[in-house]
């Protein structure tokens, strides 16, 4: 039979393993995991958008469906009235200078992320560069409003 002390140690180890597992899962669910990109192996570029929709810091940056980085920061430029998004890209992935950035949505109502489409330039992006070709987020409410407005306008033309 085990002594009470050995049993207490095993119970403590089990509880500690459970807490570590819960912390790991909580970080993964909150998209805050630091395991995706190692610090120091990245370079930072910026992209300017008219509308970022629901894009958040730490959102994925993907190219061809592969995670290549994360959104490092979002700020508003008072001069141009645009959102400036800082992207932290893994150094293993190099993109041409004319790469395009789009704000996309996973599924119909999923999280928003940045999609990169590589261009054909022979010169690659460097740390601190700004992406010139961007496409803002499609806001579902605006799209529905435009559709309803165009249908209402079509109905008015048919009455005349």
Per-residue pLDDT of the chain (160 residues; tens, 9 = 90+): 568 888 899 999 999 999 999 988 887 776 554 444 555 589 999 999 999 988 999 999 999 999 999 999 999 999 999 999 999 999 999 999 999 999 998 877 788 999 999 999 999 999 999 999 999 887 777 778 888 888 777 766 666 6
12 and 72 both lie in a single domain? no
With 0.75 as the threshold, say if the pTM is over it.
Answer: no
82 and 103 both lie in a single domain? yes
20 and 78 both lie in a single domain? no
57 and 131 both lie in a single domain? yes
Distance of CA 142 to the CA centre of its chain: 21
20 and 48 both lie in a single domain? no
50 and 112 both lie in a single domain? yes
16 and 83 both lie in a single domain? no
Closest C-alpha among 127, 99, 129 to residue 42: 127
HSE on the CB side for 96, CA within 13 Å? Answer: 10
Q: Which domain holds residue 46?
A: 42-144
Count of structural domains, the chain: 2
Measured distance CA(80)–CA(152) in Å, rounded: 34
């Amino acid at each position: 039979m085990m002594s009470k002390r050995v049993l207490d140690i095993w119970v403590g180890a089990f509880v500690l393993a459970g807490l570590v597992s819960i912390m790991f899962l909580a970080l993964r669910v909150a998209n805050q995991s630091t395991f995706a990109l190692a610090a120091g192996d990245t370079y930072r570029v910026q992209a300017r958008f008219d509308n970022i929709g629901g894009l958040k810091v730490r959102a994925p940056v993907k190219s061809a469906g592969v995670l290549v980085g994360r959104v490092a920061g979002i700020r508003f430029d008072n001069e141009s009235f645009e959102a400036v998004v800082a992207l932290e890209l893994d150094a293993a992935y190099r993109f041409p200078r004319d790469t395009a950035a789009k704000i996309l949505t996973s599924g119909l109502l999923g999280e928003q992320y940045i999609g990169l489409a590589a261009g054909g330039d022979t010169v690659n992006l460097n740390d601190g560069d700004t992406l010139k070709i961007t496409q803002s987020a499609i806001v579902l409410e605006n799209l529905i409003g435009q559709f309803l407005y165009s249908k209402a306008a079509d109905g008015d033309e048919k009455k005349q």
